Structure 1
């Protein structure tokens, strides 16, 4: 199968969150399974790419669209990287979505409209790549949300020409790509599709809604999140649209790169360890305590947070529960950045309890790995979490996670209180300080029973969160979507 994976970011080139990790791992696994995978993303300023660079393909200007170029690069994982080069749109000093001061680029509609348009072209007989046309175009989040609309438009204009199926994955429904409806002319959106049954969202244009409305199949990153986003509580205004499209919606849990996140092979650790030989984990804890300035106390339970420091991630809940954690003799290490008020509150807690609370603002890949390895337990009290990856990393590193009862956290952590034989972490009963306090108390009680704690660690380390099973599920979705694009039924898509 010829698969085009269209994304605004991909690790290690450009990454702002989980989408960057998924864009690196899923296409590589699809290629490993024998499929012909091309990954399309913008050529941002400062990107460093290694591989066999092919001849660029010119994309002439058309209507409101500027001239651009497609540059193919054969990279080591078997995927062909397609860099969309358009210096006027992508060669900028800021990030992929925001300028150097953190403000959204004013022309983001055109920047990601072009990415979507080129993605759709690669799925038609007018593909700019000679001899290669996608069977499916896999769009990701709002920046590629217009690709399914453009594919549907191609089908409408030339119904007898083969056109790829359009798949949209929602990684986080909260980011909806909303722009003034006036952008619709430049983006080439047909007038009949500018209403409520098309791209219109409270009078504006939503690129994410376009993807939801016109995709042949919709996926999201965990089965529980697929159900949650169809409710008013978690639907962010899109729940009705998603309920209407429920027959084409499926939740597939993300995986992790087990080569990168394996404590027995992790070159970033001072001492490696495994499920059968856990001794090295104690050394990682000692090194972590020393590095961040915590008391060198192996008997103190060390809790960890590696996260964006926002209310969505429940950082305020952690702060509310912190006095009880400190009183119980626990330690807390935090790595991340985010809302200034939460950063300041965490820094103040570290000032008050310098030997029990350590906070590092920013991101450090080596420290993140050391925290996963050296901490005793990991905190993720998110108010919503489409999938989450750190709870999977934590289990792989023998660091039982304490998680909120939402999204992918519920799908990937088995509560040790409810299921002592198979438990791999602790699930909060509610997304608030009381829920976290209760889960912390249960975790501390288990921590004081070494045999019980070791079983929880072992259960988590035995789980396989690799990408192969998820990739096979995506292939099923691709095949079903191809049938849908040719007049079939959606029955194969609804299993969650």
Structure 2
């Protein structure tokens, strides 16, 4: 049996700012079902509900809870570092002591392995907050026989977030100066924690196969493409899964009418419900949905450029999300200009999100870059045909058998692809085939977990 120590700075249902927490909550459960022994380590933030999740004192500044059948979650306590209203930032930006906060977390994660007699074959690190673990393992534990055979795997969820700090803070890490070099943590005169993880981990993976190739280019490498190319023989891509206990039209209590590939015609009930909820005329035109942060890299630059062309077509658009003021203003103006055509909802609304996935005929996701993306996988499950740009996880999950892809990033290719989707929509037989193909795609966490087990095996052999 493989034993894994899963290290993440956020885990659902305990603390979340983004998709990292969803992955960290779901993947260990699927690994356990496949026979992997998993323990998880995360910081004990003040927003973790100790009573609700039945946390118990486990030892020196450590608390414990259980998820799944027997997955222990160890919470590292440090009130000075983690007793704050949010995880990484306040109204002034990133917390000034994030380097110290997460170096403490990494050091304690390694120490508790021995304290609690854990025997991990692999420590699974996630993003920059955990990247000092392989560094400290090499620097501080290499002579301790208890840690001798432990291997490390780093999952890169988004290369845009690297944990970069001024070089003046380097002494706070307690590392020898030899680690602050081009072959270590140094990055253009600063400390780069993600670079450290990429350099010192035994195996690296991204959250989609395509993204593992994308990040080796200057366009998507954020300055680390050279190092990633150098380590390409240890770099893999595994597509994230989605939680079908939450996202499944056959058992979704949020939607007007449950449906499946066998009775996909019932999707129309959800479409009518969505039109009603969004105050759009209830007529038989394609509804294009979007659930997204309203920011540039999610494609809102080209959406706003193409909005007049899109709105000249026989369709309706429903957008849900929050983000940058400039795009929210442009979308608000478009909704005013095209009444009965566009519904914009500047919020995070779980109920409406479910209704959009269930009621839309098409789902727009023209991200400029997308490490994995979950929206397109959810839309496929609900038979809402995705329209995507050919990048990252979008390229790995959407093709001509289940959606529409455009290959040059721009407003014209986007508008033309929407037009193409509308043309196929008029062929009811062809469209029905597309919808069934989409709904039968498998993006379960079990599928992803099996691939992670193969990586753990590879790491053990190194």
- Scaled by the length of structure 1, the TM-score of the pair is 0.90
Cα-Cα RMSD: 1.6
Residue 179 (structure 2) aligns with: 193
Offset at 1:327?
Answer: 1.1
Contact in 2 for aligned 1:312/1:384 (Cα 8 Å): yes
Alpha-carbon separation, structure 1, partners of 2:15 and 2:300: 26
Counterpart-to-counterpart distance in 2, 1:102 and 1:401: 37
Q: 1 CA distance for matches of 2:3 and 2:345?
A: 44
Distance 1:217 1:459 in 2: 34
After superposition, give the CA deviation of every residue in 1:145-194 in whole Å (9 maximum; x if it has no partner).
11111112235444685242111100000111100122221112221110
Q: 1:380 aligns with which of 365, 389, 413?
A: 365
Aligned residues: 460
How big is the shift at 1:483?
2.2
Report whether the alignment pairs 1:409 with 2:400: no
Residue number in structure 1 paired with 2:330: 345
Assess if the C-alpha contact under 8 Å between 2:371 and 2:393 holds in 1. yes
Partner of 2:268: 282
Please state if 1:53 is matched with 2:55. Answer: yes
Aligned-pair distance for 1:76? 3.9
Q: Higher mean Cα deviation, 6-15 or 404-413?
A: 6-15
Which deviates more from structure 2 when the two are superposed, residues 392-401 or residues 340-349? 340-349
Give the whole-Å Cα distance in 2 for the aligned partners of 1:120 and 1:385.
Answer: 32
Alpha-carbon distance in 2 for matches of 1:177, 1:316: 27
Shift of the alpha carbon at 1:386? 0.7
- 2:156–2:205 contact (8 Å) kept in structure 1: yes
Q: Are 1:75 and 2:53 counterparts?
A: no
Alpha-carbon separation, structure 1, partners of 2:409 and 2:297: 10
SS of equivalent residue, structure 1 residue 312: helix
Equivalent residue in structure 2 for 1:115, among 105, 114, 130: 105
Q: CA deviation at 1:233?
A: 1.5
- Give the counterpart of 1:251 among 237, 252, 255: 237
Q: Retained in 2: the 8 A contact 1:293–1:354?
A: no
- State which drifts further: 46-55 or 106-115: 46-55
Aligned match for 2:83, one of 91, 95, 110: 91
Contact 2:15–2:47 (CA<8 Å) still a contact in 1? Answer: no
In the TM superposition, residue 334 of structure 1 has moved relative to its aligned partner by: 1.0
Determine the C-alpha separation between the residues in 2 that align with 1:12 and 1:159. 35
Q: After the TM superposition, which residues 132-211 of structure 1 pair with which residues of structure 2 at under 5 Å, given as runs? A: 132-158=118-144, 161-211=147-197
Is the aligned partner of 1:240 residue 2:219?
no
Return the offset for 1:122. 4.1
Check 1:202–1:437 CA distance in 2 against 1; reply closer, same or farther (3 A cut). same
Are the structure 2 counterparts of residues 102 and 444 from structure 1 closer, same or farther at C-alpha, using a change threshold of 3 Å?
A: farther
Match of 1:305 among 290, 294, 297: 290
Q: Secondary structure at the match of 2:134?
A: helix
| Other structure's SS at 1:393 match | helix
Distance 1:291 1:17 in 2: 27
The Cα offsets for residues 318-351 of structure 1, whole Å up to 9 and x where unpaired, read as: 1122212211121111111111111221122222
Aligned to 2:201: 215
Q: Give yes or no for contact 1:151–1:163 (8 Å, CA) kept in 2.
A: no
- Whether the aligned pair in 1 keeps the contact of 2:313 and 2:419 (CA below 8 Å) is no
TM norm structure 2: 0.96
Identify the residue that residue 487 of structure 1 maps to in structure 2.
Answer: none
What residue is the counterpart of 1:64 in the other structure?
none
Deviation of 1:425 after TM superposition, in Å, equals 0.3
2:286, 2:314 within 8 Å by CA — same for their partners in 1?
Answer: yes
Cα distance between partner residues in 2 of 1:249 and 1:219: 5
Give the deviation of 1:55 after TM superposition.
2.9
Give the Cα–Cα distance (whole angstroms) in 2 for the partners of residues 160 and 463 of structure 1. Answer: 44
Q: Distance in 2 between matches of 1:202 and 1:294?
A: 52
The answer to whether 1:31 aligns with 2:28 is no
Separation of aligned partners in 2, 1:244 and 1:311: 30
The residue number in structure 1 matching 2:259 is 273
- 1:26-72 Cα offsets, whole Å, 9 max, x none, are 111011112221121122222236455343311xxxxxxxxxx2211
